[in-house]
Amino acid sequence: MEAYSILAKYYDSLMKDFNYDAYTDFIKGYVKGEGIDLCCGTGEMTIRLAKLKCKMIGMDLSQEMLNEARNKARKNFQNIIFIQENLKDFEAPHKMDFITCVCDGFNYVDNNSLIESINNISKYLKSGAYLIFDFSSEYKLKNVLGNNTFCEDRDDVTYIWANELKEDRVEMQVSFFEPKSEDLYQRIDDNQTQYIHSLDIVKEALNKNFEYSVFDGEKFTDAKDDSLRYLIIAKRK
């Protein structure tokens, strides 16, 4: 089994503390018409936006995640197009009314690629359209996740998540132990990297083509220096 297969299988359960409903309520005034949900994962936000009567396309690099998203969309009676696409190579069929990238998608590209990606995304937004995204803050990656290990022993799966803080990134190794019988577990390792983006770098990337506001992406209030996640609502000039 590939690492992404087991990650996709348990992703929603592992993300149970992420408040998709509050997030959707906070941004729903900015999303209407046709939109793209980048780094859509298993489609949790994509489906919520479709239920707001938006015409949605979901994009993700992982085919395993997209398979989960398609199955979930069918169960929710939502007609959504899902496409395998790398954030750095993003293209849209035409200009959109909004584009979202929820739950740290931009942390998986370095600073140069972040700036290039935001500039590229701006080409596919109508004037007055919105780019809505969040990212784990520099404070979180350095002080909460960096050089720390997390583990959880559950009935369906056990995991050990070990992080190593580097100068511009956090390298993550997650080892899953999936029960196969009473005394047998299968171990599957997944290695990922999240890049550290200062709020100043993100603002620099936005300044050319957007007007924007910054919020706390977990409390949905004004952003603070120790916010764990920043939520950006950016309007295309």
Q: What is the pLDDT of residue 4?
A: 61
- My answer on whether 227 and 151 are in the same domain is no
Token readout for 128 is 């007055």
- My answer on whether 108 and 121 are in the same domain is yes
- My answer on whether 25 and 52 are in the same domain is yes
Q: Which residue has the tokens 């396309």?
A: 57
Task: Read off the amino acid at residue 31.
Answer: V
Q: What three-state secondary structure class fits 32?
A: coil
- Specify burial of residue 106 (Cβ count, 10 A radius: 0-12, 13-18, 19+): buried
The boundaries of the domain holding residue 179 are 140-195
Of 134, 117, 124, 120, nearest to 97 by C-alpha is 124
- My answer on whether 162 and 205 are in the same domain is no
Write out the chain's pLDDT in tens, 237 residues: 455 667 888 888 888 899 999 999 999 999 999 999 999 999 999 999 999 999 999 999 999 999 999 999 999 999 999 999 999 999 999 999 999 999 999 999 999 999 999 999 999 999 999 999 999 999 999 999 999 999 999 888 899 999 999 999 999 999 999 888 878 988 989 899 999 999 999 999 999 999 999 999 999 999 999 999 999 999 999
- My answer on whether 223 and 108 are in the same domain is yes
Estimate to the nearest angstrom the gap between the alpha carbon of 71 and the chain centroid: 19
- My answer on whether 179 and 232 are in the same domain is no
The total number of structural domains that make up the chain: 2
- Can you give the CATH number for the domain in which 93 is found? 3.40.50.150
Token readout for 72 is 């979930």
- My answer on whether 63 and 92 are in the same domain is yes
- My answer on whether 87 and 182 are in the same domain is no
- My answer on whether 109 and 202 are in the same domain is yes
List the beta strands (DSSP E) in 31-124: 34-38, 55-60, 81-84, 96-101
- My answer on whether 79 and 190 are in the same domain is no
- My answer on whether 124 and 190 are in the same domain is no
- My answer on whether 144 and 164 are in the same domain is yes
- Can you give the CATH number for the domain in which 153 is found? 2.20.25.110
Q: Judge contact between 111 and 82, C-beta under 8 A.
A: no
